[in-house]
Amino acid sequence: MRGFGSDELNRRGFLGSLGFLAGSVFGGQRLLGATGATSTKQGAWMGKITGLGETGNVYEELGLTTVINGQGTETVLGGSLIRPEVKAVMDLAAEHFVVIMDLEAAVGKRISEMLKLPQGYGAIVTSGAASAIQNGYSGILTGSNEAYIKQIPDLTGMKSEVIIQRAHRSGWDHQIRTAGAKLVEVETVEDVHKAISERTAAMHFLNLSDPDGQIKRGDWVKLAHAANVPAFLDAAADVPPKSRLSDYANMGFDLIAVSGGKAIRGPQCTGLLIGRQEIVHNALLNMSPNEDTMGRPTKVGKEEIVGVLKALELYLAEDQAVLDQDQWQQLDMISTKVSKIPGVTVTRDVPEIANHFPALQIHLDPARFSAKPHDITEQLARMKPSIVLTEGPNTIEMTAIDLQPGEDKIIGDALARVLMAHSVRPA
């Protein structure tokens, strides 16, 4: 199997690149034998697809409406779109068997080098940030003890409590409890001192809740280390900026969970567990492919493991300023179309933590519209393709991180049309 250099792409010209695209769009089945079609050197499918996929839109074939995604990297909408080059590399990964534990080790080593993680840190690929949380906690609780690995979530003999700020309990801690740990809620530093005992296994921090809790992330790490327990950070949606992939390790967090299928644009079912080599390794012992483990259902396949590594490589090479610029341009297009409508004002910002990319808030004066934001977003969602935006009490909000070229115009036109239809004169 040869690689696919750009020279070769040029030499093969249009047909070559068409094959490249077809393979990346339609998956990596290798064609064997007598159906008359050919396969490229990359193993990309060149045959005619019959049955599912024959129209080129599998979702419509299944009776579904595809979505123009103005919400951003939401798991319920499919995470993000994998870059064609990543799909091509996933096809390559699908062509061989490999020892998964060795693959995890090799990919983890590559990730550590790419991110320039501090000495003693490593990484593994999990089936999402939620999986990184569950398996990370399993690793903290069991260590490398085989009997414990088989025993959890029964924590008899193990530490059993994880300290968390009350303000950080916003729906992302189920996986800690799944691993068997009991959450101990605190609010103040004083509470932390009282909560720490020989049962304390770790201290958990939900990064996006940093502004809501009394104890900030830097102090949280210090408190954990003073108590001699690991500090765990859920930073699932905290890239961009890319620097955050190593910042939190440099800050001292012992384990960090990151989504692979959000802004990094890896496969939706991937995540990274970054952290102290030993705990990361113990997390891996607790998950697929290892049998009789808590994390056996959190399988991540060889194609996805390689896919998120490639996605990370491409993501790190990207110029964030250019990406932001493109997104602002798309949002400006929408803003221009709707801000002319009486009763509409538009603001824009970039959230500081979590989903740190351009966002637009379209404020609707309730006196000037006969419909609420909820009714308007519902109406847009019922269109074909469905347009999915976020609603607030008096706002409609959106990002452009997942918009494809031309979709800004579709959204702008549709939104302006719907807003105009509900426009009323002031009494």
Ligand X SMILES: *Cc1c(COP(=O)(O)O)cnc(C)c1O
In the complex, which residues of this chain contact ligand X (CB under 6 A)?
75, 128-130, 172, 208, 234, 236-237, 259, 261, 271
Cβ-closest residue to ligand X? 128
Task: CB nearer to ligand X: give 23 or 271.
Answer: 271
Q: Which helix (H) or strand (E) holds 89?
A: helix 84-93
Task: CB nearer to ligand X: give 152 or 208.
Answer: 208
Indicate if the alpha-carbon torsion angle 25, 28, 30, 34 is positive or negative. negative
Provide the minimum distance between the beta carbon of 52 and ligand X in the complex, in angstroms, as a whole number.
26
Task: CB nearer to ligand X: give 128 or 180.
Answer: 128
Provide the minimum distance between the beta carbon of 262 and ligand X in the complex, in angstroms, as a whole number.
6
Provide the minimum distance between the beta carbon of 197 and ligand X in the complex, in angstroms, as a whole number.
27
Provide the minimum distance between the beta carbon of 23 and ligand X in the complex, in angstroms, as a whole number.
26
Least Cα distance to 289 among 122, 152, 156, 98 occurs for 98
Are 233 and 224 spatial neighbours (Cβ–Cβ below 8 Å)?
Answer: no
The residue type found at 365 is D
Provide the minimum distance between the beta carbon of 202 and ligand X in the complex, in angstroms, as a whole number.
16
- Token pair for residue 396? 């409609």
Task: CB nearer to ligand X: give 263 or 344.
Answer: 263
Least Cα distance to 262 among 31, 99, 124, 80 occurs for 80
**Beta carbons within 10 angstroms of residue 57's beta carbon:** 11
Task: CB nearer to ligand X: give 263 or 362.
Answer: 263
Which of 184-203 are b and which e, b meaning 16 or more Cβ less than 10 Å from the residue's Cβ? bebeeeebbeebbeeebbbb
- Residue-wise DSSP of 108-122: HHHHHHHHTPPTTEE
Task: CB nearer to ligand X: give 307 or 412.
Answer: 307
Are 394 and 366 spatial neighbours (Cβ–Cβ below 8 Å)?
Answer: yes
| Alpha carbon of residue 322 to chain centroid | 21
Provide the minimum distance between the beta carbon of 71 and ligand X in the complex, in angstroms, as a whole number.
13
